[in-house]
C-alpha cells in the first residue's frame, strides 16, 4: 500500500489533481477488497469502509454519495453519478473551502472539497486502516496480489524486466 499512497502524494505534488482524486476514490475499494475473504469488493463493502474510516465526511458526503462519486469519476469522468445528492462536487485547489456548499439558487447544491484536505484525509484513513490490519492473515494473503511496481520483474515470467504487476 505504501507505493500507492506515495503515488497519491507524488501526483498531488506534481499537480495531477484528477489522478489524485481517482486514486483516493479507489482506495476504499482496494482496502475493502484486501480485507475480504475472496479478495473482492462491491458497493456494500466500499460504503462500509467509508462509513468506518472517513466518518468526518458523513454530514455532507455519505458513504453512498462517495460511492456514486467514485463511479462517476472513475467510470464516466464526471463529478457525480445517477442518484447523487448534489448537482456536482467541486474540488478546490488554491482556496481553502472544504466539506461545505457553494451558494447556489439551484438544488441540490454544489459540494466543495479542498483537494489537499480530502486526499490527506483518505491517505490518513488508509494508513490507520493498515495499522489495524497489519497482522490480519486475510489482508496479508491478498496483499500478495496487489498491483505494484516490480523493479526486478515478475518471476519466472519477466526476469530482470521492470514491470507493474
pLDDT tens-place string over residues 46-76: 999 999 999 998 888 889 999 999 999 999 8
Rounded Cα distance between 66 and 88, Å, is 12
CA dihedral of residues 19, 20, 22, 26 (deg, nearest 10): 130
Closest CA to 101 of 117, 125, 85: 85
Element holding 118 (H helix, E strand): helix 115-133
Work out how many domains the chain is built from and give that number: 1
Three-class SS of residue 4?
A: helix
- pLDDT of 162 > 90? The answer is yes
User: Structural domain of residue 92, as residue ranges?
Assistant: 2-164
Q: Is the pTM of this model over 0.75?
A: yes
Which residues face 114 on adjacent strands? 92
Confidence of residue 111 (pLDDT cuts 50, 70, 90): confident
Amino acid at each position: 500500500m505504501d507505493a500507492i499512497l506515495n503515488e497519491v502524494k507524488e501526483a498531488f505534488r506534481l499537480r495531477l489533481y484528477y489522478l489524485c482524486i481517482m486514486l483516493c476514490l479507489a482506495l476504499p475499494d482496494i482496502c475493502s477488497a484486501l480485507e475480504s475473504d475472496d479478495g473482492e469488493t462491491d458497493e456494500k463493502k466500499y460504503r462500509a469502509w467509508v462509513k468506518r474510516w472517513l466518518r468526518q465526511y458523513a454530514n455532507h458526503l455519505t458513504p453512498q454519495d462517495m460511492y456514486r462519486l467514485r463511479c462517476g469519476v472513475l467510470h464516466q469522468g464526471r463529478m457525480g453519478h445517477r442518484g447523487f445528492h448534489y448537482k456536482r462536487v467541486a474540488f478546490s485547489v488554491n482556496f481553502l473551502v472544504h466539506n461545505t456548499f457553494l451558494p447556489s439558487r439551484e438544488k441540490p447544491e454544489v459540494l466543495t472539497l479542498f483537494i489537499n484536505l480530502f486526499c490527506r484525509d483518505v491517505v490518513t484513513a488508509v494508513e490507520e486502516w493498515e495499522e489495524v490490519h497489519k497482522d490480519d492473515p486475510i489482508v496479508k494473503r491478498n496483499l500478495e496480489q496487489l498491483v505494484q511496481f516490480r523493479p526486478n520483474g515478475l518471476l519466472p515470467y519477466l526476469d530482470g524486466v521492470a514491470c507493474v504487476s
